[in-house]
Amino acid sequence: MIYCPDCREEIPVEDFNVSTDVAFCRRCGKNHRYSELADFEVRAGFRPDRPPRGMRVLPDDGTGEGIVFRYFSHAVWILCFFAVFWCGVTGTLTVAVWCAGNSPWFAKLFMLPFQLVGIGFLFGIAMMLFGRSELRFRDGALEMFSGIGRIGRRRRWELADIRKVAVEPTGMQQNGRQVEGVAIVTADGRRRFIGRSLDAEKQQFLVNLIRQKIRLNDSRKSGYWA
């Protein structure tokens, strides 16, 4: 669904002309650039109150309405296997080196990066088992928290500054395949990704949800309504 940036009414498909980049609103009698409005298209039949399995709608308890999802993946068991193997081998070698009385300092310091990799494995496992991401919409902004409990990363975007929301390749690869995420592009051209670990259905739900909130945001300037 694409909406007029002035009256906010839906523009029917027959009033699009993709080849000439025109979307005509019969109610206003105005032409708009289809490409700009399409960046905020909300899929027909989208239901924000019916998220995919694994996502949960958060009631507005004074902190703004939003949604929460977890990072759990069955790949955590494979990661656990590698973590046990890696930490076991490197831990044994590190203890042996540090306990050897004649070991030079550079040999002891050489083992530290391997321990940091092991800590990274453990952090990844903890995020898959206990981590969560929480999106909140309040005061004309999108706020996101990612972490465990209250410890994690917080980000914030003003809805009026967001110029594009779409599922795009992140530039990362996993098992030889491009990893996709939900790209949030702001007016200054900065692109930030969220939801990299989610499947396509959940990523598209986030895209539709954020686009819908942008369309309903009263602080958004005319010409960028979706």
Give tens-digit pLDDT for 37-89.
665 666 666 788 888 888 888 877 766 788 888 876 667 788 888 888 888 88
Domain boundaries, the chain: 1-38, 47-70+133-216, 75-128
Q: 47-70+133-216 has which fold?
A: PH-domain like (2.30.29)
The token pair at 206 is 């986030």
Interstrand relation of 22-25 and 30-33 (parallel, antiparallel or unpaired): antiparallel
What average pLDDT does the segment 142-149 reach?
88
Rounded distance, CA 173 to CA 179, Å? 5
Map tokens 């453990």 to a residue: 122
Q: What is the pLDDT of residue 73?
A: 66
Give tens-digit pLDDT for 179-217.
899 999 888 888 999 888 788 889 989 988 888 888 776
Q: What is the pLDDT of residue 54?
A: 85
CA-CA-CA-CA dihedral for 99, 102, 105, 108, to nearest 10: -30
Give tens-digit pLDDT for 95-137.
888 887 777 888 778 888 888 888 888 887 777 778 888 888 8
